[in-house]
């Protein structure tokens, strides 16, 4: 059994992949590999089944359409989560709703994003991914309508809770859906588009909302969001295909070479033979058989393996996916797709899944990912507050449009950062794997954090000091571009590294990352104005730059000891996967 592809191999280490080698070395002998690869000889991880219903086997068109829908959901929910600021002046003028109250609404929004991610995540494991998108979009629709009719302080606060819940699907569910249809070596580039979508919504959302508010009425900020949410809900119901697929029930190149476990040891009935050696009495799956007992291949469509240690004691048969037909349209877009291990209504399993999700807080890479991503949201809160405070006044005298357009250099920087940490990093880690005899380590992604440790703090200093000392606009706009670069780069690194470290616990890892990220953002949302008032803009941004540098440099100890940490958490990880799949 290949120690790089099977989680139950005694030498398996999460986050270490053999993506180039066409043979594997075990017990001093080189064994032939039958793993599926790309035309560039990159081993596909995970190994797909032969089923046409396996999302990894979808056509490029189906993958593209699903990817485009996930990207739009991500961008739109990010935009609606950042559009309330465009209405705050009007709400204050017409109804006397204080800016502190609207700041409280922003804090509630962050809590809604983070903690609803936790409570919605088990539904994806029990009833399929699609139901979570429907719930989130429906609640976003309700929140947008509520905000459009806002007249009281409570309206501006609690409507944001619903808007925050709507974005929670983009914090973990989208990443899970994308990992369902793409292979491990593609995730860096895929996450680049995901971060770009998040950046587009985050930075362009306030700009578009500002124009809507100025050209029509502030209420149309909510109403247009409601209209788009309604249309999106219809598209999801009729056009979003379910990506849940229990690949453990199907024959794959890994399961074909599965060794039978006995007494806790991985002893095969017939070990794979050395190259050029005889394959007598072994079937195509690598199992030894008495020739008299070999079943007729025309009638035997499955192969027997022993289930994982948390599964039933009884043997079960794996499905030969090549015999399956493509599901009809109504099943592919079903609102609910029950998991293969669902028992009854799944109420007890739901709470068990909540506990499993919380277990991921024990894994240090989760905290690194949450801090990387969360601190960038903190900086977003600070520089947006500074833009709204400083630049409408002399000597800048920016209009609402002018302030909104300041998000454009940030978006440009984010695009460059996404390309750097996503597409470029994909090529880099493959290059590193070639130099390492085909072995890819998750920590290769962390090389790209060192540029962020310099550029991010530099951008904060240029913007903060530039605003305080009224330096030329070029300094301020370049600083915003650097901040955007750090935003895009850090987000891409954070998620790609975590997904590489624990590839079978993506949803659970992203849930904990979202909780850390949004809880930090909530705290700093409440202290932002007080800190700026108490310390002044220049000193505050100097402190933020130091914090940025310190958190980003946490990549250094993780780079040095990350593999040892993965080794130390290996048993927790395998046990968590086993518990989750056996819930």
Q: What is the pLDDT of residue 258?
A: 52
What is residue 25's three-state secondary structure?
Answer: strand
- State mean pLDDT over 549-576: 95
At residue 121's C-alpha, the angle toward residues 120 and 123, to 5°, is 75
Element (H, E) at 261: strand 261-262
- State mean pLDDT over 384-390: 88
Q: What is the pLDDT of residue 235?
A: 97
Structure tokens at 432: 């590193």
| Residue 487 CB-half CA count within 13 A | 32
Q: What is the pLDDT of residue 44?
A: 86
β-partners of residue 26 are: 29
CATH class of residue range 55-246+357-582: mainly alpha
What is residue 273's three-state secondary structure?
Answer: coil
pLDDT band (50, 70, 90) for residue 260? very low
Per the model's pLDDT, the better-predicted residue between 224 and 271 turns out to be: 224
- State mean pLDDT over 105-112: 93
- Residue 520, pLDDT > 80, answer yes
How many angstroms separate the CA atoms of 128 and 23, rounded?
36
**pLDDT tens column, 460-519:** 999 999 999 999 999 999 999 999 999 999 988 988 899 999 988 998 999 999 999 999
Domain boundaries, the chain: 55-246+357-582
**pLDDT tens column, 427-474:** 899 899 989 988 999 999 999 999 999 999 999 999 999 999 999 999
Q: What is the pLDDT of residue 449?
A: 94
**pLDDT tens column, 93-103:** 899 999 888 88
Q: What is the pLDDT of residue 253?
A: 79
- Residue 26, pLDDT > 50, answer no
| Residue 563 CB-half CA count within 13 A | 11
Q: What is the pLDDT of residue 192?
A: 86
pLDDT band (50, 70, 90) for residue 414? very high
Output b/e per residue, 228-242; b: 16+ Cβ within 10 A: bbbebbeebeeebbb
Q: 């991500």: which residue's tokens?
A: 74
- State mean pLDDT over 167-189: 90
Per the model's pLDDT, the better-predicted residue between 266 and 87 turns out to be: 87
Spell out the SS3 assignment of 536-558: CHHHHHHHHHHHHHHHHCCHHHH
Q: Which of 64-78, 301-315, 565-579 has the lowest mean pLDDT?
A: 301-315
Per the model's pLDDT, the better-predicted residue between 294 and 6 turns out to be: 6
pLDDT band (50, 70, 90) for residue 583? low
CB 229 within 8 A of CB 144: yes
pLDDT band (50, 70, 90) for residue 311? very low
| DSSP labels, 505-541 | -HHHHHHHHHHHHHHHHHHHHHHHHHHHHHH-HHHHH
At residue 355's C-alpha, the angle toward residues 349 and 359, to 5°, is 140
How many angstroms separate the CA atoms of 489 and 192, rounded?
9
- Residue 31, pLDDT > 70, answer no
């Amino acid at each position: 059994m290949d120690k790089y592809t099977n989680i139950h191999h005694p030498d398996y280490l999460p986050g270490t992949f053999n993506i180039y080698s066409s043979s594997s070395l075990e017990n001093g002998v080189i064994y032939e590999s039958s793993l599926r690869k790309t035309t560039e000889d990159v081993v596909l991880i995970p190994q797909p089944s032969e089923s046409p219903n396996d999302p990894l086997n979808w056509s490029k068109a189906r993958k593209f359409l699903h990817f485009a829908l996930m990207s739009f959901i991500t961008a739109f929910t990010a935009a609606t989560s950042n559009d309330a600021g465009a209405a705050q002046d009007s709400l204050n003028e017409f109804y006397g709703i204080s800016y502190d109250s609207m700041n409280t609404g922003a804090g509630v929004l962050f809590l809604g994003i983070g903690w609803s991610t936790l409570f919605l995540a088990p539904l994806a494991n029990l009833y399929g991914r699609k139901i979570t998108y429907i719930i989130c979009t429906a609640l976003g629709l309700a929140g947008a309508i509520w905000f459009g009719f806002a007249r009281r302080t409570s309206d501006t606060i609690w409507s944001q809770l619903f808007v925050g819940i709507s974005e929670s699907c983009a914090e973990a569910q989208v990443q899970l859906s994308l990992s369902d249809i793409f292979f491990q070596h593609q995730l860096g580039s895929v996450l680049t588009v995901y971060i770009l979508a998040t950046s587009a919504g985050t930075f362009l959302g306030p700009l578009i909302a500002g124009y809507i508010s100025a050209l029509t009425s502030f209420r149309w900020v909510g109403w247009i969001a409601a209209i788009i949410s309604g249309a999106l809900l219809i598209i999801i119901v009729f056009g979003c295909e379910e990506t849940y697929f229990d690949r453990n029930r199907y024959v794959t190149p890994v399961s074909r070479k599965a060794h039978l476990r006995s007494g806790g040891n991985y002893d095969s009935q017939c070990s794979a033979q050395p190259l050029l050696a005889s394959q007598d009495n072994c079937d195509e799956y690598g199992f030894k058989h008495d020739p008299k007992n070999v079943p007729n291949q025309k009638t035997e469509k499955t192969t027997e393996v022993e289930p994982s240690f948390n599964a039933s004691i009884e043997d079960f048969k794996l499905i030969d996916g090549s015999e399956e037909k493509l599901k009809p349209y109504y099943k592919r877009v079903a609102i609910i797709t029950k998991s293969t291990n669902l028992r009854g209504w799944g109420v007890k399993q739901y709470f068990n899944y909540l506990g499993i999700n919380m277990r991921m807080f024990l894994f240090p890479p989760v905290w690194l990912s949450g801090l990387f991503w969360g601190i960038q949201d903190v900086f977003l809160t600070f520089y947006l507050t500074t833009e709204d405070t400083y630049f409408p006044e002399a000597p800048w005298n920016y209009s609402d449009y002018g302030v909104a357009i300041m998000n454009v250099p940030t978006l440009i920087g984010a695009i460059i950062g996404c390309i750097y940490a996503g597409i470029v990093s994909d090529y880099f880690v493959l290059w590193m794997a070639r130099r390492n005899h085909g072995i890819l380590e998750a920590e290769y992604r962390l090389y790209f954090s060192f540029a962020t440790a310099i550029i991010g703090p530099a951008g904060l200093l240029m913007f903060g000091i530039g605003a305080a000392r009224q330096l030329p606009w070029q300094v301020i706009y370049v600083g915003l571009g650097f901040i955007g670069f750090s935003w895009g780069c850090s987000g891409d690194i954070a998620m790609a590294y975590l997904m590489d470290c624990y590839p079978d616990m993506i949803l659970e890892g992203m849930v904990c990352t979202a909780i850390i990220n949004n809880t930090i953002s909530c705290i700093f949302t409440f202290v932002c104005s007080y800190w700026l008032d108490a310390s002044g803009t220049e000193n505050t941004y100097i402190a933020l730059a130091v914090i940025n540098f310190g958190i980003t440099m946490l990549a250094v100890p993780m780079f040095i000891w990350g593999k040892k940490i993965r080794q130390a958490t290996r048993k927790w990880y395998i046990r968590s996967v086993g518990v989750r799949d056996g819930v």
